[in-house]
Structure 1
Amino acid sequence: MAEEKDKDIVLLSHGDGGLLTHQLLQDFFLRYFKNDLLDSLTDAAVFSSEPGRMAISTDAFVVDPVFFPGGDIGKLAVCGTINDLAVSGAQPLYLTASFVIEEGFPFADLEKIIASMANTCRVAGVQIIAGDTKVVGRGQADKVYITTTGVGYLLPGANLGYQRLEPGDKVLVNGCLGNHGLAILLQREALGLDSQIISDCAPLSIMTTEILKRFKGIKLMRDLTRGGLATNAKEIAMSSGVDFWLDEAALPVEDSVKGITELLGLDPLYLANEGKFLIVVAAEEAGELLRYLREDWSAEYACQIGDIQAGKGNVYLRTALGGARQLNMMAGAPLPRIC
């Protein structure tokens, strides 16, 4: 009976490099990630690249729970690394993926995660070309951890950097804020709130590639993950030596997110996003960029949320009552393991 049950879960022997490891690769990873570069199973993938500058990014994903409304740890691992490349002005090409799996993790769940990664890669037009798998004992990890590394090439003409920000520039976001962090919280804590909050987890590279080709006035982009809009804006302001002035009335937050965060005493400006990014663009292109996002990318909640002014690295929120509140980096981690 125990042997029958063991067929459905990952065993320590799946990580020993022998027959079961080979079966794990063939039955799951190579089945879904199949491509010419990966199929060779050599110690390193060798590939041709576009001429010019390359970009590389790596990230580890330990989200709890591994499945959540709108996504899972696999989709998150692909989107997270792709988006870091995308907002840096790069066209992602390839990913590597490393798995640490806890003994006893169900094969059915592992397959769902791998299939999700493969589907997200197809949508984004990238391939997983190398990887590694380790199995650890029960209690030595929490279900599964995934690390992805991505490489891509800088788009011709892309010129993004803190030094380019100057007074008069406009600040935009491509949609509603706080959904991912709140979706994870509600799924994890079982607070008994009847809500349909869905994570915004999505790859951004196709969108960012097109807007960078079309709008030369884009000066900086930032993926609004951990720490949310407020923390990321503060980091940019400090690095560039200018002030951000954001308009509270313009910030796009879904009514359901606003209502639940008010009930829980949370600020959606500090909640993580996994499909939203901030754009700083020259004033003369801001209106056309906003129209393009809304009409060509169906980003109906894309908004101009503020502007850049001379200053010393501060972020201010113009309140609905006509005052101003200073925003700082998130202190502590109100919701760990959100990515």
Structure 2
Amino acid sequence: MGGIRDASITLAHGSGGRAMHELIERLIVPAFDNPWLGSLEDQARIGLAGLLARGDRLAFTTDSYVVSPLFFAGGDIGTLAVCGTVNDLAVAGAQPLYLSCGLVIEEGLPTHELERVLASMAEQARAAGVVVVTGDTKVVQRGAADRLFVNTSGLGVVPAGVDIAATRARPGDVVLVNGPLGDHAVAILLARNELDLHATVASDCQPLHGLVQAMLAACADLHCVRDATRGGVATVLNELAVSSCVGVRVHESALPVRDEVRGACEILGLDVLYMANEGKLVAVVPRTHADAVLAAMRAHPAGAGAAVIGEIVAEPAGSVLLDTLFGGQRVVDMLVGEQLPRIC
């Protein structure tokens, strides 16, 4: 990157004048380096023929990222933005292709921090096989934002025959996750210095579309797939239970959790089922294909810690029940309030 002269972002970088053009042309465009963005048009023009060759439906999503702090073990707000949007497309069975990037920058943000975030986004986009083709930049006064907010929208294509939906869970189906839960939330807590723990926990932030494609190769009829971000696995399971009018039974003994994360939850009185993840999905698959899907997940780097955590039952419809370690059973309701603010 050629870089810009200013050591920090000023209001002039959002004014529409010379400073803003310097920011875009010397910092943002070189970071992503592709002809769509480089043309500096107000939109990206994408040929339909290439999209139609990949599938018969478009998947489109958008999300905004306001994590605090911006940088943490395992990633930063840029990594989070790319992976989060890619994963929202991936859980529909879509092949993610194109992203937009909207930046809301607080006056005074050090330029080197913005460069670092852009570099993370570019690196993660290349690794995920997606292209940032359009975007927008706004600068707000000091105190009007918390350093940097990022919005990313994503476009992907769903192959013909793939029908993954929250309404498709059926009694007898098996519930799987692709690895340890709660890593991202604890990584953020540690980055905030809110835990007096001598532990290293990195965020699980990672793209999941390759994993989902491997799962589809093992079972073309995946019923439900969701990424378990804010609200964690508990929220995802409650949403699936309500949408499909079924019950979900989860076994606490089967939940994959790192010792460091379990310890943090015990100290703070938090429930790992509600902890945010940024590289974990919940899948509901037909029991006849559960072993094949589990094997496919464990053979993929993003699913090495995959586990069966429960099953779909007929009753009580719309509810999630947990078989506890103590031999009892409790209702796992939708999260009320928030366990941790500004987590993603």
Fold in common (TM above 0.5)? yes
- Match for residue 207 of structure 1? 211
The offset of 1:298, in angstroms, is: 6.4
Matched residue SS, 2:59: strand
1:247-275, CA deviations, whole angstroms, 9 ceiling, x for partnerless residues? 11100000111011101111111100000
Separation in 1 of the partners of 2:232 and 2:303? Answer: 19
2:7 equivalent in structure 1? 8
Assess, with a 3 A threshold, how the Cα gap between structure 1 residues 298 and 14 changes in structure 2: closer, same or farther: closer
Counterparts in 2 of 1:67-86, with a 5 A limit?
67-86=71-90
Instruction: Please say if 1:56 is aligned against 2:60.
Output: yes
Question: What does residue 185 of structure 1 align with?
Answer: 189
Instruction: State the AA in 2 paired with 1:96.
Output: S
2:133 is matched with 129
RMSD, aligned α-carbons: 1.3
Aligned to 2:201: 197
Q: 1:318 is aligned with what amino acid?
A: D
Give the superposition deviation at 1:210: 2.9
Q: 2:231 is matched with which residue?
A: 227
In the alignment, which of 288, 293, 304 is matched to residue 292 of structure 2?
Answer: 288
Equivalenced residue count is 334
Paired amino acid for 1:138: R
The corresponding residue for 2:171 is 167
Distance 2:137 2:267 in 1: 42
Query: 1:336 maps to which residue?
Result: 341
Runs (4+) of structure 1 moved beyond 4 Å?
none
Question: What is the alpha-carbon distance in structure 2 between the residues aligned to residue 41 and residue 11 of structure 1?
Answer: 22
Which residue in the other structure is 1:33 paired with? Answer: 32
- Larger deviation: 313-322 or 294-303? 294-303
d(CA) in 2 for partners of 1:213 and 1:28? 40
Partners of 1:71 and 1:93 in 2: how far apart?
A: 22
Deviations 1:75-128 (A, max 9, x none): 101111110010012111100010000111001100000000000000110000
Q: C-alpha displacement at 1:294, in angstroms? A: 1.2
Q: Distance in 2 between matches of 1:162 and 1:20?
A: 46
- Separation in structure 2 between the aligned mates of residue 302 and residue 274 of structure 1, nearest angstrom: 15
Partner AA of 1:60 in structure 2:
S
Match for 1:324: what amino acid? Q
Structure 1 residues 119 and 163: alpha-carbon distance in aligned structure 2, compared to 1, 3 A threshold: same
How big is the shift at 1:19?
1.1
CA drift at 1:193: 1.5
Distance 1:162 1:128 in 2: 29
SS at match of 1:163: coil
1:278 aligns with 2:282: yes
Whether the 8 Å CA contact 2:178–2:302 is kept in 1: the answer is no
Mapped to 1, the partners of 2:195 and 2:227 lie a distance apart of 28
Deviations 1:26-68 (A, max 9, x none): 2211111110111111111101142221010000110000001
The residue correspondences of 1:85-124 to structure 2 (distance < 5 A) are 85-124=89-128
Q: TM-score, normalised by structure 2?
A: 0.94
**Structure 1 vs Structure 2: percent identity of aligned residues?**
47
Q: Deviations 1:177-209 (Å, cap 9, x if unpaired)?
A: 001011112211433211101110111112212
- Aligned match for 2:306, one of 302, 306, 312: 302
Using the TM superposition, give the Cα deviation of residue 289 of structure 1 relative to its aligned residue in structure 2, in angstroms: 1.1
Write the mapping of 1:321-332 to structure 2, written as runs, cut at 5 A.
321-332=326-337
Q: Say if 2:293 is the partner of 1:317.
A: no
Name the SS for the 2:199 alignment partner: coil
Distance 2:167 2:23 in 1: 48
Amino acid at match of 2:225: M
The code of the aligned residue for 1:261 comes to C
> Bigger CA drift: 94-103 or 230-239?
230-239
1:138 aligns to 2:118 (yes or no): no
Which secondary structure state, in structure 2, belongs to the residue aligned with residue 191 of structure 1? coil
Which amino acid letter does the alignment assign opposite residue 283 of structure 1? R
Q: Does 1:24 align with 2:23?
A: yes
* Contact 2:167/2:240 (8 A) holds in 1: no
**Residues 1:75 and 1:273: Cα distance change in structure 2 (over 3 Å):** same
Q: How much does 1:322 deviate?
A: 2.1
3-state DSSP of counterpart to 1:92: strand
Relative to structure 2, which stretch is displaced further, 144-153 or 24-33?
A: 24-33
The answer to whether structure 1 residue 243 and structure 2 residue 247 are counterparts is yes
